[in-house]
Amino acid sequence: MGNDRIIIIGAGIAGASAAYFLTRRGNGNVRILEKEKIAGTHSSGLNAAILRTMIPEPHLNRLACESAAFYLNPPAGFSSETLVDKTGIYLAASKGNEAVLKGWCDDNPETGMEPIPVERVYDRIPDLARGLGMATWKADDGVMDVHAILQGFLRGAVRSGAEFCAGVQFLGLRRQNGRVTGVETDNGFMEAGKVVVANGAWASAAECFGGCGLPLVPYRRHLLVTETPSPVDSRQPVVWIAGEEFYFRPESGGLLMCGCDATAVAPEQGEVTDPVQLERIAAKASRWLPRFSDARVINAWAGMRTFVPDDQFVIGADPRLEGLYWVAGLGGHGVACAPLVGRLAADWIADGGSAHPAAAAFSPERLVS
């Protein structure tokens, strides 16, 4: 029956993980709508693929740590690929910013960041310039296989009864007597008793939600990959420098780099590269990796990270419209936290709430005046 159907808008990491955990609970009447021909085309496929479980905000940190346990020991049949290459991560602070990193570690001791001498970082990353004041290490973090993770969620959902509809664009909600009745799409009306907004930056399009929009804002961030004077060890750890907001890791024989820019944009402009921001990355690279200051850029792109004002996730039921749910505002942590995001979403959609200690902090109700 159509009124028993759950429609999920978006087949990126948010929608895919929600569909996976819903169907694992026996909710097979799930339809996933994706406006692109391929799932994960936008934010989910344009991120740095770094598993960094140390997130300064404790609720998000908890979700990242619990999600890492899923990735390191996934359910049977989830994927034939190794989901995390445990290269390890050096999370460091530049001189003068030690208190920032120390505060992160003090607030989130369960993450297990190991304080280490800065010389250990220089011994392992000889190209790194001097200037670190503090360093920590975690061996189980590293680089995620985002494609395998996304496909694991989608494949698992479809095997359990979900329907994946690619090339179908959501246009708006249909509602009656204070509840959702379905969605309007470019392929016509689709009836549903529950609708889940999980379409990343496009969840900020308040006009599509008939007065039930939320204050979601997409921010553009740039990444680039350089050639190198000599090949980089593919097993080199990720390096993330707090205070300077610069990180890098091996990629395609060179280095992937990011200067952590954040510019508010409309979703349609979120993947348009800005040469000024690419130059900003190059300037930070010249400071921290002088050997690569003249390296040729072989690829550069921009992706979006979407936030609400308090920077927490938005997961749960909309109090204004029965049957409307949100899985949005995941910022830069959607892939790292996806297993717990999907579980929390399934709790809300199937049971009307979640007992997880972080669930209340993510409720859409806090954003509704």
pLDDT in tens, 120-139: 999 999 999 999 999 999 99
Where does the pLDDT of residue 3 fall: very low under 50, low under 70, confident under 90, or very high at 90 and above?
A: confident
Task: Report pLDDT for 229.
Answer: 77
| pLDDT tens, position by position, 309-349 | 999 999 999 999 999 999 999 999 999 999 999 999 999 99
Q: One-letter amino acid identity for 183?
A: V
Is the pLDDT score of 42 beyond 90?
Answer: yes
Task: Report pLDDT for 231.
Answer: 80
Q: How many CB atoms lie within 10 A of CB 279?
A: 11
Tell me the domain boundaries of the chain: 2-46+146-215+309-367, 89-138+217-306
Between 253 and 342, the more confident residue is: 342
| pLDDT tens, position by position, 147-163 | 999 999 999 999 999 99
Task: Report pLDDT for 135.
Answer: 98
Task: Report pLDDT for 28.
Answer: 84
Residues forming a β-bridge with 8: 32, 196
Query: What is the SS3 assignment for 65?
Result: helix
Share of the chain above pLDDT 90, in %: 94
Task: Report pLDDT for 2.
Answer: 63
- State both tokens at 284: 């930070």
Q: What is the DSSP string of 183-225?
A: EEETTEEEE-SEEEE--GGGGG-GGGGTT-----EEEEEEEEE
- 3-class SS string, 75-128: CCCCCCCCCEECCCEEEEEECCCHHHHHHHHHHCHHHCCEEECHHHHHHHCCCC
Average pLDDT over residues 253-274: 96
Average pLDDT over residues 46-58: 97
**What pairing do the DSSP bridges indicate for beta strands 324-328 and 297-307?**
unpaired
**What pairing do the DSSP bridges indicate for beta strands 246-251 and 238-242?**
antiparallel
44 vs 334: CA distance, rounded Å: 8
Task: Report pLDDT for 230.
Answer: 79
| pLDDT tens, position by position, 182-232 | 999 999 999 999 999 999 999 999 999 989 999 999 999 999 999 887 788
- State both tokens at 13: 């990491």
Is the pLDDT score of 1 beyond 60?
Answer: no
Q: One-letter amino acid identity for 354?
A: S
Average pLDDT over residues 10-15: 98
Q: Write down the pTM of the prediction.
A: 0.96
What is the rounded average pLDDT for all residues in the chain? 96
Contacts of 369 (CB under 8 A, 6+ apart): none
CATH superfamily of 2-46+146-215+309-367: FAD/NAD(P)-binding domain (3.50.50.60)
For residues 160 and 28, is the Cβ–Cβ distance under 8 A? yes
- Residue 88's nearest CA partner among 125, 58, 130, 133 is 125
Between 1 and 247, the more confident residue is: 247
87 vs 96: CA distance, rounded Å: 27
Is the pLDDT score of 17 beyond 70?
Answer: yes
Contacts of 351 (CB under 8 A, 6+ apart): none
Is the pLDDT score of 356 beyond 60?
Answer: yes
Sign of CA dihedral 301, 275, 55, 357: negative
25 vs 310: CA distance, rounded Å: 31
Is the pLDDT score of 87 beyond 80?
Answer: yes
Burial class (CB in 10 A: 0-12, 13-18, 19+), 54: buried
- 3-class SS string, 239-286: EEEECCCEEEEEECCEEEEECCCCEECCHHHCCCCCHHHHHHHHHHHH
Fold classification of 89-138+217-306 is D-Amino Acid Oxidase; Chain A, domain 2 (3.30.9)
Q: One-letter amino acid identity for 33?
A: L
For residues 240 and 247, is the Cβ–Cβ distance under 8 A? yes
